[in-house]
């Protein structure tokens, strides 16, 4: 079945989505029938970049929903606009795939999940960084049991990123706009869920952001697993990868992953000596290459879920657990206290 889709928000990320949507494999499943942006110049530029000549351009989603009667709304707008866009789209009977973060508050995220349930429509979030080769391979390696039972994950994320635009003025910019990916990856790779967090969020000296460009957080996960995160978007020099640099410790060994294609896995191979003898083991191969194509995989998984009448992997009802880690961390830092995580 070919679905008619409206793109809402025609900025930088929308170009990435359209590149995916116009690829073989997705172009025969989705027709882009309209481009919506309050700044019509953005819609025009997107239309001309990808020769979307048949798409209607509009600053107003409600009008487009009435006139075009699309099946899907693809929300790639700024986070502050998210709840209003999703509400109008779900109430018009559309299924909705939205960019991350799912919402700008847990209350908004709960409202979105309630709206999806009430309207009977599907809503999912583009948590694309879990659809990466490395994340899938680390998860498969953990699941194989080779490092035993997992006890801790540690992630470092340091990038001196000069975006300009909405991020420069956004509150809690690192936690809400970026750490959500790393937190979601920790949940996904470990298979454990967050219970509590202690966090210190700062805006370091010389930060070019208005608020919250750095954070250090310790999460308690289920089954006694600990997840620690150290991150900054205003650390100049020696960037890590965007998928962070990881140390994952199990009862029998450790996985080091640099966030790209560098893996170093050692497991105990003997029971004597101050340092036990170790043996190197390979990372698992990815099980399904179609799940490692970033945005393309998220969109394909969303469409497959609609076709199969099941919840997508990144449905709002699951993604709210990653978002709750973000808001738990923000609350902890504000209160200078450990807080429980309640999605």
Ligand X SMILES: NC(=O)c1ccc[n+]([C@@H]2O[C@H](COP(=O)([O-])OP(=O)(O)OC[C@H]3O[C@@H](n4cnc5c(N)ncnc54)[C@H](O)[C@@H]3O)[C@@H](O)[C@H]2O)c1
Q: How far is the CB of 282 from ligand X (least distance, A)?
A: 29
261 vs 283: CA distance, rounded Å = 10
> Could you give the C-alpha distances from 314 to 147, 178, 296, in angstroms and in order?
27, 16, 14
Q: How far is the CB of 334 from ligand X (least distance, A)?
A: 22
Which positions from 16 through 55 interact with ligand X, judged by CB under 6 A? 36-39, 42
Which positions from 181 through 220 interact with ligand X, judged by CB under 6 A? none
Q: How far is the CB of 128 from ligand X (least distance, A)?
A: 5
Among 27, 48, 162, 166, binds ligand X (CB under 6 A): 166
Among 47, 58, 122, 128, binds ligand X (CB under 6 A): 128
Name 95's bridge partners.
72
Choice between 57 and 81, CB closer to ligand X? 81
Q: Could you identify the residue written with the tokens 């560098």?
A: 262
Residue 231 binds ligand X (CB under 6 A)? no
Long-range CB contacts for residues 311-318, cutoff 8 Å, separation at least 24: 311/122, 312/122, 312/124, 313/124, 313/130, 314/124, 314/125, 314/126, 314/127, 314/130, 315/122, 315/123, 315/124, 315/125, 316/102, 316/109, 316/112, 316/113, 316/116, 316/123, 316/124, 316/125, 317/113, 317/116
Residue number of the CB closest to ligand X reads 11
Part of the chain binding ligand X (CB under 6 A), chosen from 77-85, 142-150, 244-252, 316-324? 77-85
Residue 78 binds ligand X (CB under 6 A)? yes
Residue 81 binds ligand X (CB under 6 A)? yes
Residue 11 binds ligand X (CB under 6 A)? yes
Which helix (DSSP H) or strand (DSSP E) does residue 91 occupy? helix 82-91
Q: Which residues bind ligand X (CB under 6 A)?
A: 8-14, 36-39, 42, 76-79, 81, 85, 99-100, 126, 128, 165-166, 177
């Amino acid at each position: 079945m070919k679905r008619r889709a409206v793109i809402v928000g025609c900025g930088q990320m929308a170009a990435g989505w359209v590149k995916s949507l116009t690829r073989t494999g997705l172009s025969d499943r989705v027709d882009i029938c309209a481009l919506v942006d309050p700044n019509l110049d953005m819609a025009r530029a997107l239309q001309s970049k990808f020769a979307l000549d048949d798409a209607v351009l509009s600053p107003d989603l409600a009008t487009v929903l009435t006139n075009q009667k699309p099946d899907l709304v693809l929300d790639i707008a700024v986070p502050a606009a998210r709840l209003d866009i999703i509400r109008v789209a779900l109430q018009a009977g559309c299924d909705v795939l939205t960019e991350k973060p799912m919402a700008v508050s847990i209350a908004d995220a709960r409202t979105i999940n309630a709206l999806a349930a009430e309207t009977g429509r599907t809503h999912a979030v583009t948590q694309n960084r879990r659809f990466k080769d490395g994340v899938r391979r680390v998860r498969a390696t953990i699941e194989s049991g080779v490092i035993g039972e997992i006890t801790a994950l540690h992630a470092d994320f340091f990038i001196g990123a000069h975006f300009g635009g909405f991020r420069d003025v956004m509150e809690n910019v690192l936690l809400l706009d970026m750490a959500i990916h790393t937190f979601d990856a920790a949940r996904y790779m470990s298979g454990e869920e967050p219970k509590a967090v202690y966090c210190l969020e700062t805006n370091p000296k010389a930060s070019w952001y208005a608020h919250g460009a750095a954070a250090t957080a310790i999460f308690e996960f289920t089954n006694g697993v600990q997840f620690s995160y150290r991150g900054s978007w205003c650390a100049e020099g020696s960037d890590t990868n965007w998928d962070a640099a990881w140390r994952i410790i199990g009862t029998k060994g450790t996985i080091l992953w640099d966030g790209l294609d560098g893996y170093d896995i050692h497991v105990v191979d003997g029971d004597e000596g101050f340092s036990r003898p170790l043996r190197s083991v390979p990372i698992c191969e990815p099980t399904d290459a179609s799940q490692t194509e970033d945005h393309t995989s998220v969109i394909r998984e969303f469409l497959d879920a609609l076709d199969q009448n099941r919840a997508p992997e990144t449905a709002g009802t699951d993604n709210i657990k990653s978002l709750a880690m973000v808001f738990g961390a923000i609350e902890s830092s504000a209160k200078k206290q450990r807080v429980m995580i309640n999605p």
